[in-house]
Structure 1
C-alpha cells in the first residue's frame, strides 16, 4: 500500500514539474503552443551549435599551432640527433683509428709487452709475447700471468711492490753466455683496467756483441802482456844459461870431488833453465797465435801437443816430474774436427794437466803410490767429449764449487780453492768462446775427472 502511495506521489511531482516547464508556452486558455516550443528549441540548438563550433574553431587553431610547434621541435630534435650521431660516429671512428694505431705501435714493438690489472690478470699481450710464448692473446686474456707464462722470472712480490710504490723498476736477468734480459715494470696512474705494464727486452745479441768486443780487447791485452813478460824473462834467463855453460866448461878442469859436488847442481840449473825456456816459448806462442776466426782442428792432436808441452813445463825440485807420470791415451777413431781457437784450447788442456800434476804431487808424498793420468777423446751425437782423469788428491765439495769461479783477493773469507788451482779462465774459454760445457767430478779417495763437451758446429 505504501509503495502505491509513493509511486503516485512521484508521478504527481513529475507531472507538476513538466507542467511548470511548459507554462511559458501556454495561452490564456491553458493550451500549449507547440510552435513556440519548437522555435525556442531550435534557437537553443542553434546557439549551442554556434558555441560548439566556435570552441572547435579555436581548439583547431590551438591544435594547428601546437602541431606546428611540435613539428619544429621534431625537426630540431632530428637535426640535433643527426648532428650528435654524426659527431658520435666521427668520435667512434677517431677512437677506433687511435686504438688501431696504438695496437699497431704495441704489436710493432721489438720487445715483449704484458699488461696486468690489479689482480695480476692479463689485459695486454703484444705480438712479441705471442711469438715468444706461442699463445695468442684471445686464449690468455683474463688469465693469471703465471698460468699464461709460467717461465717468466718475476715473482708476485716484485709486481706488488711496484704497484704499491708506483716507481719504475728494471730487473736484469741473465745466464752467462746464454741469454740476457732487461725486465722493466711500471705502474699506471689509472688502475681500473690495467694496474701495471711489464716490458721484457731481450738484449742477448747486444750483450754478446759487447762481451765479444771486451773479450777481444782482453785477449789483445793478455797477448801483449804475455809477449812483454816472455821478453823480460828471456833476458836474465839467457844470462843464467850462459853462466851455467861457463861453469860447465870450467868444471872440465876440476878434480873429481868438485865434479861430484857441482854436477848435480848444474844439472838442476840446466833443467830449470830448459823449463823456464819452455814457459817463455809457451807465452810467446800464446801471444802470437790468437786469431779472430775459428779454425777446424783435431782435439786429440791439440791434447797430444799439450801433453808434450806439459812434460817440459811441470816438475818439482827434488820431486815428481810430469814426464815420469804414467799417462794413458784412449782416443776414439774418426773423431771429427771442430772449429776452435787452437791456442786457447791448448791453454785449457795445459791448465787441467797442471791441476792434475800438482794433485798427484800432493798424494805422491806417500809410499807405494803410482801416479796415473788418463785422457780420452770421443764423439757423441753432435759433440766431442774430452776427459782428463787422475788418481791424485781429490777435491772437497766446497773446492768443486769454487774451482771454476774467479778469485777475488778482496774477500774476507778464506777461499775453499786456492787461486793457483782455479780454472775460471779455462771455464771462460770453453763456455764463452766455444759454447761448450766443462764440469768436474771428484772424490778425495779416488781422484778427479774433468769433463769437456764441445759442439761440432
Structure 2
C-alpha cells in the first residue's frame, strides 16, 4: 500500500506512469549516492595517504635505526673480535713467557694441587706438564724444598717467603713462595731460581780477594819473621861454633854434661829455626805462585811436593815427626794432566796432611805404625784422589762440620782446637774453585779417608 503511494508521485492524472520523472529522480539519487561515495573515497584516500606517509616515516625511522644499530653492532662485533684476538694473543704471550722463562714456575692451590707447570719445571723434575697439572705437588715431586707449611704460611699471612737450598760445590737455588692477589681461589706461585753460576762467581771474587789479601799478609809476615829469624840463626851458629871450639872452657878442661846439654839445646833450636825457614818459604811460595787461570799439571807431582813440604813444616813437640810416617803410594800409571790452580791445590793437600798428622799423633796402640796411603786413579772423565790414614777416627759431629766455616767460640782454647779440625778452605778450593767434589769417611776399622774428585776438562 505504501509502495503504491510512492509510485503515485510518478503518475499523471490518467494514472499513467511518468517515466521521465522516474528517470530524472533515479539519476539524481544515483548522482547523490555517487557523490557521497566519491566524497567517502576521497576522505578515505586522504586518510590512507596520511597513514601511508606516517608509515613511510615510521619505516624510514625504523630502517635508519636498524642501520644505526647494525652499524653499531658491526662495530661492537669488530671491537669484540679485536679484543678477543688481543686477549688470545696476550694470553698466549703470557703463557709463552711463563713457560719459557728460565726459572722454575709452579702454581698451586691451597690443597697443594698443581695449576701451572712450566718448561723449566719439566726439565728439572723430568715430569711433563700434562702429567703434573691437577696432581698434588709432593706426591709427584717430593724432593722440592718447599713444604705444605710454607704454603699455609704464605696464604694465611699474605706474605712472600724466600728460601735458600744449596749443595756446596753442586748447586744453589733461591726459592720464592708468594700468594696470588685479587684471585677468586686462594693459591700460591713458587719460583725456583738457579743461582749456581752467580754464587760461584761471587764466591770466586770473594775467594780471589781473600787469597790476594792472604798473599799480601803472608809475604809481609814472612819478610817480618825472616829478618829476626836469620839474625837468631846466625847467632846460634856462631855460639855453636864457639862452644864446639872449647874457647868457653878453662884450659885443660874437657866438655862436661852441661856443655853437651847446651849443645843439644842449640841443635834443637837450630832445627826449629830451619823448620821456621821452611814455613816462611811455603808462605812465600803460596803468595808468589798463585795464578789467575788454571794450568795443566800432574797431580802426582803436586802430591809429592806437598809431602815434601809436610816433612819440612809439620812437627809437634813430644811426638814423632811427619817424616817418620809410612807413606803408601797407589798411583795408576800414565795419568793425564788436569787443569788446576797448582798453588791452591798444594795447600789443600798440605791441609789434609796436617789434619792426618794430628790424628796420627793422637792415636796410642801397641805395635802401631802411623801410615798414610795415597790413591790416584782415573774414573771416567775425572781423576779420583784418596788420602787415607790410620789415625784417630772422626766422630759423627766432626764429620758433619768438618767442611763448614769455623765460627769463633767463647773459649779461646776450644776455638783454637775447633779451628784446627776444620777444612773449609780445602773444601772451598776443591768444590768451588775447581768445580770438583770432596767428602770424608771415617771409622775405627778403616781409619779416615778423604775423597777428592777433579774433572779432567
Distance in 2 separating the partners of 1:67 and 1:142:
63
Does residue 1:230 correspond to 2:229, yes or no?
no
Gaps in structure 1 of 5+ consecutive residues: 1-22, 28-38, 40-45
| Pairing partner for 2:150 from 153, 158, 166 | 158
Q: Which aligned pairs between 1:13-32 and structure 2 lie closer than 5 A?
A: none
Aligned to 2:274: 274
How many aligned positions are there?
A: 423
Q: How does 1:123-162 map to 2 (within 5 A)?
A: 123=115, 142=134, 144-145=136-137, 152-162=144-154
Question: Secondary structure at 2:214's aligned position in 1?
Answer: helix
Q: 1:76 aligns with which of 61, 65, 75?
A: 65
Which range moved further: 339-348 or 227-236? 227-236
Structure 1 residues 403 and 121, CA, compared in 2 at 3 Å: closer, same or farther? Answer: closer
Deviation at 1:261, TM superposition (A): 1.7
After the TM superposition, which of the residue ranges 431-440 and 124-133 deviates more from structure 2?
124-133
Please give the residue correspondences for 1:57-456 in structure 2 after superposition, counting only pairs within 5 Å: 65=54, 69=58, 72-73=61-62, 75-97=64-86, 99-101=88-90, 103-104=92-93, 107-108=96-97, 110-112=101-103, 113-116=105-108, 121-123=113-115, 142=134, 144-145=136-137, 152-192=144-184, 195-252=187-244, 253=246, 254=249, 255-257=254-256, 258-363=258-363, 365-410=364-409, 418-456=418-456
The more displaced of 179-188 and 135-144 is: 135-144
In terms of mean alpha carbon deviation, does 196-205 or 351-360 score higher?
196-205
**Cα pair distance change 1:256/1:400, threshold 3 Å:** same
Task: Output the aligned Cα RMSD.
Answer: 3.9
Distance in 2 between the 1:142 and 1:70 partners? Answer: 58
Instruction: Summarize the Cα distance change of 1:131–1:331 in structure 2 as closer, same or farther, 3 Å threshold.
Output: closer
Distance 1:79 1:226 in 2: 91
Residue range with higher mean Cα deviation, 438-447 or 118-127: 118-127
- Report the CA distance shift for 1:199/1:52 in structure 2 as closer, same or farther (over 3 A): farther
For 2:11, the equivalent position in structure 1 comes to none
Q: 1:116 to 1:326 in 2, by over 3 A?
A: closer
The answer to whether the 8 A contact 1:438-1:450 is kept is: yes
* Runs of at least 5 residues in structure 2 that lack an aligned partner in the other structure: 6-25, 27-33
Q: TM-score, normalization: structure 2?
A: 0.79
Deviations 1:237-280 (A, max 9, x none): 21221121122111121532144222221221121111111111
Structure 1 residues 173 and 85: CA distance shift in structure 2, 3 A: farther
Larger RCO (CA under 8 A, 6+ residues apart): 2
